[in-house]
Amino acid sequence: MVAALALLVPAACSAAPAGSVELTVFAAASLSDALTAAGNVYEVDNRGVSLTLSFDASSALRTQIEQGAPGDVLASADMANPQALVDGKLAVGPVVQFARNELTIVVPAANPARIGDPRDLARPGVWIVGAGESVPISRYIDECLAKLAALPGYPAGYAAGVASNVVSREDNVRAALTKVELGEADAAFVYVTDAAASDAVEVVGIPAAANVEAVYGSVAISGSRHPAEAAAFVAWLAGPRGASILATFGFLGPAGE
């Protein structure tokens, strides 16, 4: 059986026409729409390169790469996960910042819990969905809650109150968004770009003073069979063409532009 599988592998690999390069890009779930669009443009601009995209929580993708998943690029919703791969000699540094994002709160269009303000999230009985503790957005949310709690008008124990209303930790931010779209959850913190991608949710803004900047970074993965092409994609994504496509989905360009 093992021998039979071994025979299948070269056959599968040789399916691509000669001279073409297939890059596998692991990308944060929040990049689902934007990177799909950017990838289409990239394939047109770079004949002979085709992209295969795989979306999930950045932390989950990092785990997959650490467990030997074959891939060429990680585009993460933070700098920490790709940096950890670089530190572990699993990716070629430095981590290239390619986009920034901000947080917002989404509620179902009908807003059954009548949430009009971030303060309402701490009210008992509000059902909030989050993402797993290791998922980048969870760290951004913690920072944001700490900042909100420090604002005038927010009660003592605000952050703890919100935390106690969390009813589920979904796989990634898009899964949390889906639970709000379905009306199963009353609210979720998501990225501004996630909220913009959905017709079925309403946005409850976060005061600018409490918002958090999410910084997206990408790296070429060490085991890549196409290191030059992988590095080229990483650079392109952070360049003007990549940034302009991501901007149409609401992403902010990398800092320092």
Partner 1 sequence: MKRSPIGLLAGAGGGLLVLFLGLPILALLARAVTGGLLPEAAGASAVLEALGLSLVTTLASLALAVALGTPLAYALARRRVRGRALLEALVDLPIVLPPAVAGLALLLVLGRRGWIGGPLEALGISIPFTTVAVVLAQTFVAAPFFVRAARTGFAGVDRHLEDAARVDGASEASVFWHVTLPLAAPALAPGLVMTWARALGEFGATIMFAGNFAGRTQTLPLVVYGEFQAGALDAAVAAAAILVLAALGVLIAVRGFGWRRALDVRSI
Q: Does 117 participate in binding partner 1 (rule CB under 8 A)?
A: no
Q: Does 109 participate in binding partner 1 (rule CB under 8 A)?
A: no
User: How many angstroms separate the Cα of 125 from the Cα of each of 33, 146, 164, 224?
Assistant: 33, 21, 10, 48
Q: How far is the CB of 139 from partner 1 (least distance, A)?
A: 12
Considering only residues 50, 111, 134, 222, which one is a binding residue for partner 1 as defined by CB under 8 A?
Answer: 134
Closest CA to 134 of 101, 170, 110, 167: 170
Residues 6+ apart with CB under 8 A from 60: 132, 135, 171, 172
Radius of gyration of the chain (CA): 20
Considering only residues 23, 32, 35, 62, which one is a binding residue for partner 1 as defined by CB under 8 A?
Answer: 62
Q: How far apart (Å, rounded) are the C-alpha atoms in residues 58 and 66?
A: 12
Tokens 């996960």 locate to 81
User: Scanning residues 164 to 183, which ones bind partner 1 (CB under 8 A)?
Assistant: 166-171, 179, 182-183
Q: Does 221 participate in binding partner 1 (rule CB under 8 A)?
A: no
Tokens 């399916």 locate to 15
Residue with smaller CB distance to partner 1, 117 or 184: 184
Q: How far is the CB of 2 from partner 1 (least distance, A)?
A: 8
Q: How far is the CB of 217 from partner 1 (least distance, A)?
A: 17
Cα 236 vs. chain centroid, distance in angstroms?
A: 18
Considering only residues 45, 87, 117, 184, which one is a binding residue for partner 1 as defined by CB under 8 A?
Answer: 184
Chain residues in the site for partner 1 (CB under 8 A) = 1-2, 57, 59-60, 62-63, 66-67, 112, 127, 129, 132-134, 166-171, 179, 182-185
